[in-house]
Amino acid sequence: MKIRIGTRKSKLALIQSEMAADAVKAAFPDIETGLVHITTKGDIVLDKPLEKIGGKGVFIDEIERAMLAGDIDIAVHSAKDLPLELAEGTCICAVLPRADAHDVLVTRRGEVLPEKPVIGTSSTRRAAGVRKLFPRSVNADIRGNVDTRLQKLYDRQYDGIVLAAAGLTRLGAFTDKRFDFKEIPFTVLVPAPCQGIIAVQSRVGGTASDILRKISDENTFLCYETERRVLELLNAGCSSPAGAFAEITDGTIKLTVTKDQRKSLTGSASCEERFSLAERLVNAL
């Protein structure tokens, strides 16, 4: 049996797809995997903010069409980039163990930021966190893959940029001697819901979906579901500063939520009560 994996062409997307392929092959050594490269609207239109070209769906629409047409069997995504609604007839059947969910401020090595730094981010959530760190900062839109953004920083188009620790880790970028990396605490900037999670999508009821369920990380999946529930309750799109982060210890889930990065609430419950916890916290914001 061969499983065709749909993926974007960026270096990070390919690395994440290989991670999913490795997980499948580790659990099912007889299964062959192959990557199918797909270019999405989000990869082509780089001169406009996401909300002006269709939101998070611009990264997966073409991939979902390929899946429903039978051209691919599964697709691998950064879970934080998924829209609220997936294509009918598909589901997220697996998630890989979560990586570091923090955001990271990246600056040129050894340089001190000016009094009014220009910080590159296209995320209103990250911009809200940056304002806490640097009240006089200037937010500047930035698009492109991680390597492109780092090069723009090195070329002095920005004084600093904000990126996800998970992506930097998977790309090995923390070893780049051109830059300094400063983790932004959750108390300053609550992560995007599902940040650091790799999600694997398939058609409902197919053989691939059964295989994926056997490679999914249970605790990460519970956190994924809970944080997605927060997104639904807040009706938060790609232009929202909302954040959510869940972690599980000994069967208890701890959840932090915010809709604006100014006020956040944290609570705990049993994993069975995770959705009720999300509703209680969101209603109290």
Q: Are 80 and 177 spatial neighbours (Cβ–Cβ below 8 Å)?
A: no
Q: Measuring CA to CA, which residue among 139, 136, 129 is closest to residue 114?
A: 136
Dihedrals phi, psi of 2, to nearest 5 degrees: -120, 135
What is the amino acid identity at position 90?
T
Polymer length in residues for the chain: 285
CB atoms within 10 A of CB 141: 12
Residues marked as catalytic: 81
Residue carrying structure tokens 């990396």? 181
How far is CA 114 from each of CA 43, 82, 107, 124, 158, rounded to the nearest angstrom? Answer: 32, 35, 11, 22, 11
Q: Which residues neighbour 18 within 8 Å (Cβ) at sequence distance 6 or greater?
A: 35
Any idea what DSSP says for residue 93?
E
Dihedrals phi, psi of 134, to nearest 5 degrees: -135, 85
For 200, the token pair is: 């694997």
